[in-house]
Chains A and B, each alone.
Chain A
Amino acid sequence: MRIVIAATGALALALSMPAIAQSNGHGNGQGKGHGNGAAAKAKPDKGPDKEKGPGKDKGARAGNGNGGPPVAMRANDKGNGRPDVEKAQKQIQREVERRADRRDDAQDARVLRDVAGAVAGEDARRVLSRYDRDARPVENWCPPGLAKKNNGCMPPGQAKKLTRDRFAGYFGSSYPRLAGDDWRYYDGYAYRPQNGVIDALIPLVGGALFGGNQWPSAYDDYRAPSYYGNYFGQNADNRYYYADRTLFSVDPQDHRILGIAALLTGDDITVGQPLPRGYDVYNVPYAYRSQYRDGPDAMYRYSDGYVYQVDPKTRLVAAAIELLT
């Protein structure tokens, strides 16, 4: 059965979490002991397992489908599962499937208005809560301004053009999950209508995910490991979250997005595994070149706040080196 997600960013994300939750923040120090002098500088034991405060264990959930988790999470950590999260995910998925089975119920104008509000940036969970109480479907809902025609939510004659223009090309290049021509844009979000309903809703970097907007409550688990905030952040008092290869600084009090702190590759660089493609050129930042210079026994490459020591013959990653001491 196709799962129908009725304009809920929360559920769209929640359903993707089983695939996302690869790194749960319990480092095992794979970088330790590898390499030579440079490897001695690696601090894999200071991985996300050392997170303090409410963000503990929650870092770097933005994995597959969301641009990949911060690289060092994958490099140095082994997810060891979080029963509470997994249980919640299963509950949400069951709930969505239950709702999908009720699609023959009558529409409710108030619910539709609320969902429209959710798309515009309000708390989708609040809408869902009411939706749960009323047990109303939101089938045939369209974003405001897109009057429902015979072709779903798209104005006649513009549907194909709109989708192709908005999310092909550079969008697909930067955010693979938005590749394809079935996505629409509305007020900072990408949404995907299907059979008269919206089955996915994603806040866009630069749209809903931008300075001045609220960090989506559905993304609360996307807290970045402290290392990323410490390395890229310009204010230690801020919180740092991660989505779509982007590190955001967020006001810890009111959860307002303060800005983009860093753009990341999200590359999966794992100690003991081959270096991924894209690192043909020496790219260590100027400030660290005297320490990490390519030689016959080791080469060094920078990615997302770390320098990686690599065996030049096998191209296997020998160590992940934090640049903060």
Chain B
Amino acid sequence: MKKTFAPTLAVLAVALTLCACGDADTADASVTSTQEAGDASLNATVAKIDEVSTAYNLIEKAGLKDPFDGAGAYTVFLPDNQAFAKLPKEDLELLGTEEGRPELIAILRRHIAVGAITREDLEAALDANGGSIQLASVADQPIDIRRVDGEVRIGSGDDAPKLTKLAVPASNGVVYVIDGMIPPGN
């Protein structure tokens, strides 16, 4: 029997959502416009964002480079490096192994919405829907998006991560940097 994933995913989620990381906040002083498509694919775009280098490595290990290089359009909410750094070292290492890959993919799915959703359209939809909307995801449940005290929260609960100011358009989608992991359930 192979090694089991000992620490709970619940602990993992809490650890990530509890961290309020300012890394990406300081990377860009203003909210990036995403109205126009980027020149590079999602995969190549993520690769260029220093704040999500850990997420990029995990995407590669999850075998998701092809989907992010393909014709499909996605909006990805990627926890920044500091969020992943909050994980116990052995857990983060396990997610990068064959043993942990099913969990890794399940976790990443929770952070991927379909289509290309610009920051401008996101804000407009929040305005039009009383500050609360849902995005269809490639997990089972839609992703809740809420405006709370002027910040945009991703997922439900008080510890839901928030959007940083860093959003980068790709040719086939949009990358948002968030400061924690989206909780598993709405």
Residue numbers of A with Cβ under 8 A of B are 67, 143-146, 158, 161-162, 164-166, 168-176, 185-188, 204-207, 210-211, 231-234, 245, 249, 259-265, 267, 276-287, 301-305, 323
Chain A hits for B73, CB < 8 A: 283, 285-286, 302
Nearest-CB residue, chain A, relative to B118: A282
Question: How many residues of B are in contact with the other chain, CB < 8 A?
Answer: 60
A-contact 0/1 string along B131-143, CB 8 Å cutoff: 0011111111111
CA distance A276 to B135 in the complex (A): 11
| A204 to B: closest C-beta gap in Å | 4
B172 touches A170 (CB 8 A): no
A265 touches B4 (CB 8 A): no
Nearest-CB residue, chain A, relative to B36: A286
| B95 to A: closest C-beta gap in Å | 11
Contact of A260 among B64, B116, B117 (CB under 8 A): B64
Chain B hits for A280, CB < 8 A: 125, 129, 133-135
**Chain A to chain B: the 6 pairs with minimum beta-carbon distance, closest first:** A283-B115, A145-B1, A278-B136, A286-B37, A278-B142, A285-B73
B184 touches A263 (CB 8 A): no
Task: Please list 10 pairs of residues, one from A and one from B, whose beta carbons are closer than 8 Å in the complex, sorted by A's number.
Answer: A165-B5, A174-B139, A232-B70, A249-B66, A262-B67, A280-B125, A280-B133, A286-B36, A287-B172, A303-B114
CA distance A204 to B129 in the complex (A): 37
Residue numbers of B with Cβ under 8 A of A are 1-2, 4-10, 13, 36-37, 62-64, 66-67, 69-75, 101-107, 109-110, 112-117, 121-122, 125, 129, 133-143, 169, 171-173, 184-185
CA distance A281 to B119 in the complex (A): 10
| B68 to A: closest C-beta gap in Å | 9
CA distance A256 to B14 in the complex (A): 38
A170 touches B106 (CB 8 A): yes
CA distance A325 to B137 in the complex (A): 26
Nearest-CB residue, chain B, relative to A264: B138
CA distance A3 to B184 in the complex (A): 31
Nearest-CB residue, chain B, relative to A228: B72
CA distance A175 to B185 in the complex (A): 12
CA distance A175 to B121 in the complex (A): 29
A146 touches B1 (CB 8 A): yes
Nearest-CB residue, chain B, relative to A207: B102
| B65 to A: closest C-beta gap in Å | 8
A282 touches B109 (CB 8 A): no
**Known contacts A265-B136, A281-B121; A172/B116 CB under 8 A:** no
A173 touches B75 (CB 8 A): no
B114 touches A304 (CB 8 A): yes
| A41 to B: closest C-beta gap in Å | 17
Chain B hits for A171, CB < 8 A: 9, 102-103, 106
B101 touches A234 (CB 8 A): no
**Known contacts A234-B70, A267-B136, A276-B136; A285/B115 CB under 8 A:** yes
